[in-house]
Amino acid sequence: MPVITTIEDLRVLAKKRVPRMFYDYADSGSWTESTYRANSDDFQKIKLRQRVAVNMENRSTATHMAGMAAKMPVAIAPVGLTGMQHADGEIKAARAAEKFGIPFILSTMSICSIEDIAEHTRAPFWFQLYMMRDRDAMATMIERARKAGCNALVLTLDLQVIGQRHKDLKNGLTAPPRPTVANILNLMTKPHWCLGMAGTRRHTFRNLVGHVKGVSDMRSLAAWTNEQFDPRLSWADVAWVKERWGGKLILKGIQDVEDAKLAVQSGADAIVVSNHGGRQLDGAQSSIEALPAIVAAVGSDIEVWMDGGIRSGQDVLKAWALGARGTLIGRAMVYGLGAMGEEGVTKALQIIHKELDITMAFCGRTDIQTVDRSILVPGTYPVAAP
């Protein structure tokens, strides 16, 4: 086993162990992947101010996200097909998050179901909802999340239509997956992955199969899914979800100040500045570039979080310094899961937390609640336009 010291180490190991079509599904963007790359690259442009001769004892990275205590301002993002990165992937990621002390968000398009997560964890988790045309199915899913003890609902707004992801097209990846001959040959080189999948009954989208009217197997699921993402999604639908849910509501996919203001008006409890990991509108701003303007516009009225491009604890600290009161990690979690299962997710969280903690100390702070943009070198970070 190689020595793992960074998220990049986990990525390299995951690429060796996860079948190509599923690794590429997670580690790709739309079209030219320019926004996917910018999400990470723009963090590297931001420089930190090193401070010395300050007492660095008794440091704390603890905070709350939507009222839920978190060891650091990080939650595991909802990632579709997580259970295809590693057998029972969502369960393993949720367990790692629970033990570490951060929130876990389950995707609508997960392999393990809402009930699977509730059965295998004790801490409350959050559920991410995609709005489908079938409103009865959506109402049922919201009720299932409530019965499972979910204490927040994350409504994703930026998937009304699906961005074109060239790697998925070239790999023949569909929803549900239909392996091509090339992919089957690739599977033969991943015996550990295959053995794990042979040992679980969770191979399909268990939030949908058996729960949605007319969806009883893979074929009927494919037909339903292809028709269901709703291009008519509007703020009236957000109000519909809020009324039926009745609990904490987080809106994910906000990239524009005007949309952030509308999110505040909707009564949401938090928003996530996100471009869907660069998987939707290629050419959009990176999340960290879009963040300051949104914080300036609505940060005093609503919790502002962000995701996209976070590969280290330094990235988390920079996002916090620019006003994000929470971050979500998707690919960093997926790399750990694909590399080493639950142990890998834990390792990813440990790496991020240690980097966050030590970097905060080097910047002369001992409590993340006192961190602001004064830890950053002026002129190296994005600012809100006057």
pLDDT in tens, 137-164: 999 999 999 999 999 999 999 999 989 9
What pLDDT was estimated at residue 151?
A: 96
- Kindly state the percentage of the chain with pLDDT values over 70: 98
What pLDDT is attached to residue 177? Answer: 66
Q: Which of 308, 298, 249 is nearest to 274 (CA)?
A: 308
Contact 201, 115 (CB under 8 A): no
Give how far Cα 6 sits from Cα of 124, 197, 261, 311, 317, Å.
Answer: 29, 27, 37, 8, 16
pLDDT band at 374 (very low <50, low <70, confident <90, very high): very high
Which residue in 118, 103, 107 sits closest to 64, CA to CA?
103
| Residue 77 predicted with pLDDT over 90 | yes
CB atoms within 10 A of CB 122: 9
CB of 342 closer than 8 Å to CB of 95: yes
Q: 289: closest CA among 35, 15, 9, 7? A: 35
**pLDDT at 385 exceeding the cut of 70:** yes
Cβ count near 237 (within 10 Å): 16
- pLDDT (average), residues 119-135: 95
pLDDT of 218 > 90? The answer is no
Task: Identify the pLDDT of residue 184.
Answer: 87
Is residue 357's pLDDT more than 90? yes
Residue 330 to residue 59: CA distance in whole angstroms: 26
Position 183 pLDDT exceeds 90: no
Distance CA 209, CA 216 (A): 5
Q: What was the pLDDT predicted at 172?
A: 81
CA distance 376 to 380: 8
Q: What is the DSSP letter of 329?
A: E
- In this structure, the number of other CB atoms found within 10 A of the CB of residue 372 comes to 12
Of 92-101, 353-362, 376-385, least confident by mean pLDDT is: 376-385
Mean pLDDT of the chain: 95
Q: What are phi and psi of 351, to 5 degrees?
A: -60, -50
Q: How do 327-329 and 74-76 pair as beta strands?
A: parallel
pLDDT band of residue 175 (cuts 50, 70, 90) is: low
Q: Is the pLDDT of residue 320 over 90?
A: yes
Query: Per 3-state DSSP, what percentage of the chain is helix, strand, and coil (rounded to 5)?
Result: 45, 10, 40
Encoding tokens for residue 54? 């300050």
pLDDT at residue number 216: 78
Q: What is the pLDDT of residue 176?
A: 61
Mean pLDDT, residues 95-99 taken together: 98
Res 10 pLDDT > 80 = yes
Residue 64 among the catalytic residues: no
Mean pLDDT of 240-253: 98
Query: What H or E segment, with its residue span, contains residue 105?
Result: strand 105-106
Number of C-alpha atoms within 13 angstroms, CB side, residue 180? Answer: 12
Q: Say how many C-beta atoms besides its own lie within 10 A of residue 58's C-beta.
A: 7
Q: State the catalytic residue, choosing from 192, 211, 276, 353.
A: 276
Does the pLDDT of residue 217 top 80, yes or no?
no
Residue in 23, 375, 348 with CA at minimum distance from that of residue 193 = 23
- Across 334-353, average pLDDT: 98
Confidence of residue 312 (pLDDT cuts 50, 70, 90): very high
Q: What is the pLDDT of residue 40?
A: 98
Q: Is the pLDDT of residue 121 over 90?
A: yes
DSSP 39-97: HHHHHHH--BPP--SS---S-B--EEETTEEESSSEEEPP-TTGGGTSTTHHHHHHHHH
Which helix (H) or strand (E) element contains residue 273?
A: strand 270-273
